[in-house]
């Protein structure tokens, strides 16, 4: 009996589906904390970049070991800035998945991600003597080191795993910050709670709206990213 051989794209998609299932099951495991904190950084970068894109400035970014984050901005369109975190993690994840579609790009993507993360740490993370700054710098060094030393196939899958984490974080963040208690780590109000306070629209509506937008975006871009 002859076995049917799967083409590379099918094998990659099957591997990503299994990886996504494993991430979902193991999401709260302590060993995965460094990856969860990394996607928190993506989330906060989304706030920062949205502030800059709408004419504001970034005063500081902080990330805590409890997997929370806070971006302080001045000026810009505040409602868009508050929405920028969720969209930032989603867009970062989709971009990483797209870049990892072609085998052999992983090392370059890891190196670029490390350089960008290091630059963000120097430009935005305050105070310098803080967990967030130390984490961002260490993560940047690790990513650049992996770019230089990891095997190409391993680097490709590392990029895909980080991309999946970032996409899934967008939905699981709603679960944690909206459906459970409306507060982020460290008892900082979640983005949805702050949007509810400013607009009168319930935090749950904002959270579910993000899930719908994210799902529609993923459906729209599924062939491009996956």
Q: How does pLDDT run across 18-54, given as a tens digit for each residue?
A: 998 999 899 889 999 999 999 999 999 999 999 999 9
Quote the pLDDT of residue 199: 92
170-211 pLDDT, tens digit per residue, is 777 766 666 555 555 555 678 888 888 889 998 888 888 887
Quote the pLDDT of residue 220: 76
Q: For the chain, how far is it from start to end, CA to CA, in angstroms? A: 31
Strand partners of residue 62: 70
Q: Average model confidence (pLDDT) for the chain?
A: 87
Quote the pLDDT of residue 3: 59
Look at the chain and report how many structural domains it folds into. Answer: 1
Residue 63 lies in a domain: yes
Q: What is the largest CA-CA distance in the chain?
A: 68
Residue 115 lies in a domain: yes
Q: Provide, rounded to the nearest whole percent, the portion of the chain with pLDDT above 90.
A: 53
- Measured between alpha carbons, how far is 43 from 92 in angstroms, rounded to an integer? 9
Residue 3 lies in a domain: no
Quote the pLDDT of residue 202: 86
Residue 113 lies in a domain: yes
Token pair 């310098």: residue: 128
- Measured between alpha carbons, how far is 29 from 33 in angstroms, rounded to an integer? 7
Q: Give residue 163's domain range.
A: 9-225
- Measured between alpha carbons, how far is 25 from 71 in angstroms, rounded to an integer? 29
Residue 67 lies in a domain: yes
Quote the pLDDT of residue 209: 84
Residue 18 lies in a domain: yes
Residue 154 lies in a domain: yes
Task: Tell me which of 83-87, 96-100, 168-172 is least confident.
Answer: 168-172
Quote the pLDDT of residue 143: 97
Residue 171 lies in a domain: yes
- Measured between alpha carbons, how far is 206 from 187 in angstroms, rounded to an integer? 19
- Measured between alpha carbons, how far is 197 from 100 in angstroms, rounded to an integer? 39
Q: Which residue has the higher pLDDT, 12 or 134?
A: 134
128-177 pLDDT, tens digit per residue, is 889 999 999 999 999 999 999 999 999 999 999 999 999 888 777 766 66
66-80 pLDDT, tens digit per residue, is 888 999 999 999 999
Q: What is the DSSP letter of 6?
A: P
């Amino acid at each position: 009996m002859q076995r049917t051989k799967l083409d590379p794209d099918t094998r990659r998609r099957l591997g990503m589906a299994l990886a996504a299932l494993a991430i979902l099951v193991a999401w709260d495991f302590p060993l995965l904390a460094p990856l969860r904190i990394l996607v928190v950084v993506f989330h906060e970068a989304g706030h920062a970049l949205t502030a800059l894109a709408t004419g504001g400035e970034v005063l500081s970014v902080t990330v805590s070991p409890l997997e929370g984050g806070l971006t302080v901005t001045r000026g810009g369109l505040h409602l868009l800035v508050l929405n920028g975190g969720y969209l930032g993690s989603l867009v970062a994840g989709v971009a990483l998945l797209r870049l990892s579609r072609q085998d052999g790009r992983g090392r370059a993507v890891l190196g670029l991600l490390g350089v960008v993360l290091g630059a963000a740490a120097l430009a935005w993370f305050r105070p310098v003597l803080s967990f967030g700054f130390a984490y961002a710098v260490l993560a940047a060094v690790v990513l650049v080191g992996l770019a230089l030393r990891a095997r190409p196939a391993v680097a490709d899958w590392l990029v895909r795993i980080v991309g999946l984490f970032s996409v899934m974080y967008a939905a699981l963040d709603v679960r944690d910050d909206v459906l459970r208690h409306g507060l982020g780590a460290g008892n900082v109000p979640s983005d949805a709670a702050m949007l509810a306070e400013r607009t009168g629209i319930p935090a749950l509506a904002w959270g579910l709206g993000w899930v719908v937008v994210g799902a529609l975006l993923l459906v729209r871009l599924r062939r491009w990213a996956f």
